[in-house]
Amino acid sequence: MTAQELLKTEEAIGFVKEIFTKELSAQLQLSKVSSPIAVLDGTGINDDLNGIERPVGFPVKALDERRAVVVHSLAKWKRVRLQELGIEAGRGLLTDMRALRPDEDYSPIHSIYVDQWDWEKHISAEQRTPEFLKATVERIYDALKTTEARVASEYPEITPVLPASITFLHAEDLLKQYPTLTPKEREHAAVKQHGAVFLIGIGHELSHGEPHDGRAPDYDDWSTETASGYRGLNGDILLWHPVLQTSFEVSSMGIRVDKHALVRQLALRGCQDRQELSFHSRLLKDELPQSIGGGIGQSRVCMFMLRKGHIGEVQVSIWPEAVREELAGAGVGLL
């Protein structure tokens, strides 16, 4: 790939990010704020994701060698920030999150560098419902559709593929429909059929005794019973990627735990000791607002909108030399 082609890609990436940021902010009533690259360890603020990822850590000389960690995401930090900024119900915040996840396995859609639109919105206790979750997802999907239309207008080689509406499915429904498939195979089958799916209920055990996928116990509410046999007020936005020809996750999000869900989920994961941490104790004392929030992958959205088959085409990261050589041989230029 020539330098001119790389520069054109960089300009297209900037265009996608500018349009989607504007559309998402308008749809969800979000204000742009600054955010940290690292937080102090031992506060409970950093996210555990699936609970096994190791954060990048370092001692801070000016704080008597107290340890800090590079964020995995900002799910809990954003909720604290809602309270600190006094953001009223119905409005929220949006920030550019940059993270390092050194335990990620390399793939065409995974890098050790993570960039997200991290957002959080103050809601009322009465809005902690599946209906409100779905209405929020539809607004995000509208922002994605508008962005795709704008990209297609600016770059005629791009043909819009997103369906008119997103389909809502529960992980339990997928298990019943595809009992012999793995979770990722179930996602693939459903998204291939529908084009865009919001998969609800990520984290709690399903009827066969296993969760669809892992979730940390202290940000998304994945345990609240919403109907007979169904649990969870969270989920993933999955799109069918026309180049990769597979299900493609662009967002993980959900209504956040209240104090009852927090206690329940910490017990389910055997993490009751976290109740003493700063974030958790504040939540248990009702000092933090009820909220909904999530992360939307910036590189993932750019991959989809610009029809790229490798995440290294839309972000600068560290890649094994063998990967660089393989992609170069296929005519794929990494940034």
* Catalytic choice (25, 73, 111, 116): 116
Q: Please tell me which residue in 148, 249, 258, 313 is annotated as part of the active site.
A: 249
**Annotation marks residue 54 as catalytic:** no
Q: Is 47 a catalytic residue?
A: yes
* CA 217/CA 270 separation, integer angstroms: 10
Rg of the chain, C-alpha, whole Å: 20
Active site residue 116: yes
Longest dimension (CA), the chain: 58
Residue 252 is among the residues annotated as catalytic for this protein: yes
Which of 79, 81, 101, 150 is an active site residue? 101
Could you tell me where the DSSP H helices lie in 64-111?
A: 75-85
**Given 127, 252, 291, 315, which residue is catalytic?**
252
Q: What is the DSSP string of 230-296?
A: EE-SEEEEEEEETTTTEEEEEEEEEEBP-HHHHHHHHHHTT-GGGGGSHHHHHHHTT-S--EEEEEE
Pick the catalytic residue: 213, 218, 220, 236?
A: 236
Single out the catalytic residue among 23, 25, 47, 221.
Answer: 47
213 is catalytic: no
Indicate if 258 belongs to the active site.
no
Name the 3-class secondary structure at 112.
coil
DSSP for 120-186?
A: EEE--GGG-SHHHHHHHHHHHHHHHHHHHHHHHHH-TT------SSPEEEEHHHHHHHSTTS-HHHH
Show which residues are catalytic.
47, 101, 116, 236, 249, 252
